[in-house]
């Protein structure tokens, strides 16, 4: 479930996983896979810039209604299509981020391509003013660290059995003392 995070540039923004069977993450209207995000963050830890491939969906109808999709009453847009494919679990105990969600990448890619436009998002670290940009969104260092920590724990509701995917473990180890 995406949560609210504070940015320097846009105030409060939504960031996070939106479908427990996928590793796709959203940042407002930007969508990208968590493993690509983690790889870009690792690159950023070594350099001052990295690229992150993803998609942009600016039309709210094409994005879909997360709460309506979770409730099973609105399958419009990209988010609705993911919930039509993988409905919200009947048992709330099953609401956990699947650490094997990377296996749905091909299907999720086909879905997002129906609704969004591919885009490469710039990731940059300005060490002088302790800020990190992801696309047009700018975060202070602690704010960007909160995004990293969110992915590391599997968002809300967390990884199933708190089992992080390998790519998350690598990123966490690489950026342990940064930001």
Mean pLDDT, rounded, of the chain: 96
**Domain spans, the chain:** 3-174
- pLDDT score for 5: 98
- Structure-model confidence comparison of residues 1 and 155, the more confident one: 155
Q: What secondary structure letter does DSSP report for 50?
A: E
- pLDDT score for 92: 81
| Dist. CA 123–CA 142, nearest whole Å | 16
Indicate the pLDDT class of residue 1, thresholds 50, 70 and 90.
confident
Could you tell me the two tokens for 18?
A: 């939106």
Residues 91-102: pLDDT tens digits?
Answer: 988 999 999 999
The model's pTM is: 0.96
* Range 43-79 burial, b when 16+ CB lie within 10 A, else e: bbbeeeebebebbebeeeebbbbbebbbeeebbbbbb
Encode 100-142 in three state secondary structure.
CHHHHHHHHHHHHHHHCEEEEEEEEEECCCCEEEECCEEEEHH
Residues 103-160: pLDDT tens digits?
Answer: 999 999 999 999 999 999 999 999 899 999 999 999 999 999 999 999 999 999 999 9
- pLDDT score for 93: 85
| Dist. CA 66–CA 68, nearest whole Å | 6
Could you tell me the two tokens for 123?
A: 């990731």
């Amino acid at each position: 479930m995406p949560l609210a995070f504070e940015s320097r540039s846009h105030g409060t923004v939504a960031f996070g996983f939106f479908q427990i069977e996928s590793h796709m993450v959203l940042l407002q209207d930007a969508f990208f896979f968590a493993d690509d995000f983690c790889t870009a963050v690792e690159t950023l830890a070594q350099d001052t810039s990295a690229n992150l491939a993803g998609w942009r969906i600016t039309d709210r109808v094409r994005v879909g209604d997360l709460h309506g999709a979770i409730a099973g009453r609105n399958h419009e847009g990209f988010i609705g299509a993911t919930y039509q494919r993988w409905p919200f679990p009947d048992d709330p105990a099953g609401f956990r981020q699947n650490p094997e969600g990377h296996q749905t990448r091909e299907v999720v890619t086909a879905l997002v391509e129906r609704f969004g436009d591919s885009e490469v998002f710039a990731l940059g670290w300005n060490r002088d003013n302790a800020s990190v940009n992801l696309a047009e969104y700018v975060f202070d260092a602690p704010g960007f660290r909160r995004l990293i920590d969110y992915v590391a724990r599997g968002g809300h509701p967390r990884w199933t059995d708190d089992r992080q995917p390998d790519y998350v473990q690598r990123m966490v180890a690489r950026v342990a003392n940064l930001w």
